[in-house]
Amino acid sequence: MSTAKTALIIGASRGLGLGLVKTLLADGWHVTATVRAPHNAEALQALGDVRIEKLDMDDQQAVIALSQQLKGQVFDLLFVNAGVKGPAVQTPGGATLAEVGQLFFTNAVAPINLAQRFVGQIREGSGVLAFMSSVLGSVTMPDAPELALYKASKAALNSMTNSFVSQLGEQQLTVLSLHPGWVKTDMGGEGADLDVETSTRGLVDQVNDYAGKGGHHFINYKGETIPW
Ligand SMILES: NC(=O)c1ccc[n+]([C@@H]2O[C@H](COP(=O)([O-])OP(=O)(O)OC[C@H]3O[C@@H](n4cnc5c(N)ncnc54)[C@H](OP(=O)(O)O)[C@@H]3O)[C@@H](O)[C@H]2O)c1
């Protein structure tokens, strides 16, 4: 019988999600990964032994369909990575109702809705539920006012995660709100500090270190605690 750990990675077409899959595979994990457009997932397919499922996290019917599809599977790690930067203009007067609604739904509401659907499939005791937050979601962080709406959406994700954790009841698992660093991806841009590999190596190390510890922690890819 295989003793490999199992992961479900949400949003793995590119960037950090793709990097997480690569790092986990290199560590011998069995990985199921979701993309919005499977016909456009060559980079993920090229990694080899990955089960690829289609999911737009904003689509409740698709979330329900995926939970049916993966019924009975137990995951050592559920990592909700998918997220968006939001509108180009992030001043309160510069963004539309639709843009703000989309940003907050995708970054703060959809991840928790998904977690609610799958939490019963995370391994009791040693399982980890990870959300891709950001240090920009810390309400103590004064930087990057040009990303004010994105920052607020990640603060909202942290708040939604806190509410979710408070309702977990008896289930023993570890919940991580993770900051990956500032990473060179489509979202992070070329001028970012870190390459994807360095960030995802650190993120997976934190998942391994925190497994079995329980509680909810806001940390970066190096394991340093971030103030809420
Ligand atoms: N890069 C950084 O410096 C940085 C720093 C802090 C936090 N983060 C967070 O890290 C996560 C990944 O960011 P990234 O830099 O890798 O960004 P990215 O390159 O823009 O990738 C975003 C990923 O999210 C997916 N996605 C977006 N909306 C989705 C939805 N509704 N349903 C399913 N998948 C969806 C995208 O899929 P498609 O290919 O289909 O669009 C893509 O796979 C995000 O949550 C981001 O906020 C990034």
Question: What is the whole-number distance in angstroms between the Cα of residue 178 and the centre of ligand 1?
Answer: 13
Those residues whose C-beta lies under 8 Å from the C-beta of residue 50, and which sit 6 or more positions away, are 12, 21, 25, 31, 32, 33, 44
Per-residue pLDDT of the chain (228 residues; tens, 9 = 90+): 458 999 999 999 999 999 999 999 999 999 999 999 999 899 999 998 999 999 999 999 999 999 999 999 999 999 999 999 999 999 999 999 999 999 999 999 999 999 999 999 999 999 999 999 999 999 998 889 999 999 999 999 999 999 999 999 888 899 999 999 999 999 999 999 999 999 999 999 999 999 999 999 999 999 999 999
Question: What is the whole-number distance in angstroms between the Cα of residue 11 and the centre of ligand 1?
Answer: 7
Q: Is residue 106 packed enough to be buried (19+ CB in 10 Å), middle (13-18) or exposed (0-12)?
A: buried
pTM: 0.98
Question: What is the whole-number distance in angstroms between the Cα of residue 55 and the centre of ligand 1?
Answer: 13
Give residue 128's pLDDT: 98
Q: What CA–CA distance (Å, rounded) separates 74 from 69?
A: 13
Residue nearest atom 9 of ligand 1, based on CA coordinates: 132
Q: What pLDDT, in 10s, does the model give residues 88-103?
A: 999 999 999 999 999 9
Question: What is the whole-number distance in angstroms between the Cα of residue 80 and the centre of ligand 1?
Answer: 10
Question: What is the whole-number distance in angstroms between the Cα of residue 167 and the centre of ligand 1?
Answer: 27
Question: What is the whole-number distance in angstroms between the Cα of residue 68 and the centre of ligand 1?
Answer: 24
CB 60 within 8 A of CB 47: no
CB 69 within 8 A of CB 32: no
Atom of ligand 1 nearest to the CA of 150: 47
Q: What CA–CA distance (Å, rounded) separates 63 from 59?
A: 6
18, 56, 84: residue to mutate for ligand 1 pocket, most atoms within 8 A of CB:
84
Domain coordinates in residue numbering, the chain: 6-220
Topology annotation, domain 6-220? Rossmann fold (3.40.50)
Give residue 85's pLDDT: 98
Give residue 2's pLDDT: 57
Q: What CA–CA distance (Å, rounded) separates 210 from 204?
A: 10
Give residue 171's pLDDT: 84
**Residue 202: helix, strand or coil by DSSP?**
helix
Give residue 39's pLDDT: 92
Ligand 1 contacts (CB < 6 A) are: 11, 13-17, 36-37, 55-58, 81-84, 106, 132, 134, 179-180, 182-183, 185-188, 192
Give residue 180's pLDDT: 98
Q: What CA–CA distance (Å, rounded) separates 117 from 73?
A: 13
Residue nearest atom 21 of ligand 1, based on CA coordinates: 15
Give residue 38's pLDDT: 93
